[in-house]
A and B are shown apart, each in its own frame.
Chain A
Amino acid sequence: MSFEILDTLFFSTVIAAAFRIATPILFAALGEAVAERAGMLNIGIEGMMALGALGGFLGAYWSGQLWIGFAAAVVVGILAGLAFGYITIERGADHVVTGIVANIFCFGVANVTYRFLFAGTKDIPQIPTMRPFRMPWLSDLDFFGRAFFSHLPIVWVAIALIPIFWFLLARTKWGLNVRAVGENPAAAETAGVDVWHVRFSAIAVGGGMAALGGATLSIAQLGAYLDNMTAGRGFIALAVVVFGGWRPARIAGACLLFGGAEALQLRLQAIGVPIPNALLTAVPYLLTIVVITAFAGTAAYPAAMNQVYRRNRPTRRLRPHNTAVTEDSSRPTMSVDSPPVPCTSSLPPQ
């Protein structure tokens, strides 16, 4: 073991790798943050990433254009998000259960589709991976060139989306609506916000971004589609959203922290520092949790997360047609027309 490797070259490659590792997670996390802000808990993003990885790969493989691949992935992701929205918003299903089903379903669809298309082909389909975007002068700098200015174009897209998402959520009417709908849909509706549309648009953004993250893996980084290639990155994104307090900048920081820790541990392991490999492997996860919980403060969940909202719609569709159902039944629904029943004491009188 030797530490002469710990020079500027070493740290510049760690920073560059941190951005590469963070990018797919950052895409998924930014989208998920928007969805959750609107009260949509989509734990199906792991599967949607896989779907995006396949959709993006197919688009790029058949067209020969990487950017068409990314566009295809976003379309697939939006469709997956809208399907999730249909089941949860329109049909009123539980978000967690739907998310679990979405994961299983998306993985199944992606893997089976890939097999169906390419089973028996002699040559495994591959595409050339994305090349780094070189900037004049900046990319030739010794430390900063390697660390910050040799990224893939898709990394720059991810970086650009951080302020865009902040702006969308914090400074636009749509963002305000999203946040209102996620906190109190009934009040938002009273104020004239179309909860149904806002939630559908938020979940579409979430699905599209998750798929973009998956496509980053398949198109930009590997040039191939592999079963389960997302390998838990969607779940990491879910955690990052919470630890980042649903704020784009903090989420980006958390992703970079995770990526940096992962890049560092891979390098420390390689040069043989006398720390057990199992512990080093866990470092990115532990560090992200510790640092973010220490600095993020007390961020609260959007109040209406995973709550079904019905805009004066009959709920019969989930029940047998001939059953008479009133609006506020056992299911935790909120409605403008039926405010919560005042809590009356069920205790017997003294």
Chain B
Amino acid sequence: MKRGIQFLSIIAAVGIVTTAQAKEVKVAYLPCGQINDHSWSETGYEGMKLAKEALAADGIQMTLDYTESLQAAQVEPAARDYASRGYAAVVLHCATFSGGALNAAKAFPNTKFLVSTSPDTKDLPKNFWFYDASQQEASFLAGYLGGLMSKSGRVGAIGGFDFPALVRQVEGFRLGARFANPKMKSFATYINSWEDAGKAKEAAQAQIDSGADVIFAATDQAARGAFTAAENSNAFAIASYTDQANLAPKNILTSVLYDYPRLVKMMVVMAVEDKLEVGKAYAMGVTDGVGDLAFNPAIDSTIGPTVKAKVASLAADIKAGKIKVPMLSKPNEAEGVNLDSLAAK
């Protein structure tokens, strides 16, 4: 009984201490879709939860609210609603939400608006930031690895759609392959689908028929087709977004991972702790841990320690700022880049 009272008093004391110290803050999350979509909207939500944990460690109690699956036209009222209720930050994790977010940001200067895509204007309010993963950096690393592993001197990249956020991955890969071997010939195909694995397989086969022996796939489930083509032709494949080595253990060299949860977490923590610089565009890549290669352990010996060491050293150079990977958003741009210009002066 005595021990019980002691225990309760400790709990009470801890409770009083924490409530006395805790600063409370409300943050809203507005994704494209649903927070359990196993995809884009869920990665952002994971980031929100990580931010909540990180802030709790700093003694800040973050309340996380979200509104799912909004149409672009519903975004501004929703964002205004959160802002008017005293939310410190509103995170808009969807490419089509930037316009509505911009209008709401102008009306509510005391709320910080974090948006995953930049609107088409330079005139941004002071409480408006956009964040982005510099995907070209990790895909550049993948291209470098592919370039080192290619025996034929030809590599291929398959993209889902021809738009800047995807082209930069495809072109980053091609530039990386050239960085490994300046005489590298690279192919790029856009299949206009996230799902059509049959088409991706034919696209990969077309590249393999043209001599490519490393295929980089920057598309969704359609990538399975590229892996099958690589398996049938004893070529290597490189996966994107999630670790997919188990789908073709003998052929997938590596998976390119972009840590969106980490990106969202860093943005929210900085916003709540007032550390965001006004007017700065936050594009995070390999340097910030938002972009990495997950090597396939099953073919570790095929890749070999020398190649791995070279890739690690290039990653270190990018982190140290010695190599700057440009963001190329037009198809075939990588072919024209002067390789010497990548080394930062």
Where the two chains meet, the residues of A that have a C-beta atom closer than 8 Å to any C-beta of B are 5, 9-10, 13, 17, 20-21, 24, 123-124, 126, 129, 217, 221-224, 226-229, 231-233, 262-263, 266-267, 269-272, 276-278, 281
Given the interface pairs A123-B246, A224-B224, A277-B162, the reply to whether A267 lies near B195 with Cβ below 8 Å is no
Q: Is the CB of A272 within 8 A of B199?
A: no
Closest 10 CB pairs of A and B: A270-B187, A231-B196, A13-B209, A266-B206, A277-B162, A267-B206, A277-B190, A269-B189, A270-B189, A281-B192
Other A-B pairs, 15, CB within 8 Å; known A123-B246, A270-B189, A272-B187: A13-B206, A129-B228, A222-B198, A222-B225, A226-B195, A226-B224, A227-B221, A229-B195, A267-B206, A270-B187, A271-B187, A272-B188, A277-B162, A277-B190, A277-B331
Residue of B199, B228, B246 near A124 (CB, 8 A) is B246
A217 to B332, CA, bound (A): 31
Residues of A within 8 A of B231 (CB): 129
Binary flags per residue of B183-205, CB closer than 8 Å to A gives 1, else 0: 00001111111011111011101
User: Can you report 13 residue pairs joining A to B where beta carbons are below 8 Å apart?
Assistant: A17-B206, A129-B231, A222-B197, A224-B197, A226-B197, A226-B224, A231-B195, A231-B196, A263-B206, A266-B189, A269-B189, A277-B331, A281-B192
A123 to B244, CA, bound (A): 11
A20 to B188, CA, bound (A): 21
Interface of A is mostly: helix
Closest to B228 in A: A222
A263 to B192, CA, bound (A): 15
Q: Is the CB of B198 within 8 A of A270?
A: no
Residues of B within 8 A of A222 (CB): 197-198, 201, 224-225, 228
- Distance in Å: Cβ of B33 to nearest Cβ of chain A: 16
B210: interface (CB < 8 Å): yes
Interface of B is mostly: helix
- Distance in Å: Cβ of B256 to nearest Cβ of chain A: 19
Given the interface pairs A226-B195, A277-B162, the reply to whether A272 lies near B203 with Cβ below 8 Å is no
**Chain B interface extent, by class:** 20 to 34
Where the two chains meet, the residues of B that have a C-beta atom closer than 8 Å to any C-beta of A are 156, 162, 187-193, 195-199, 201-203, 205-207, 209-210, 221, 224-225, 228, 231-232, 246-247, 331-332, 335
Given the interface pairs A17-B205, A126-B247, the reply to whether A269 lies near B188 with Cβ below 8 Å is yes
A281 to B162, CA, bound (A): 11
Residue of A24, A124, A129 near B232 (CB, 8 A) is A129
Residue of A17, A21, A221, A262 near B228 (CB, 8 A) is A221
Given the interface pairs A222-B225, A267-B206, A270-B156, the reply to whether A228 lies near B195 with Cβ below 8 Å is yes
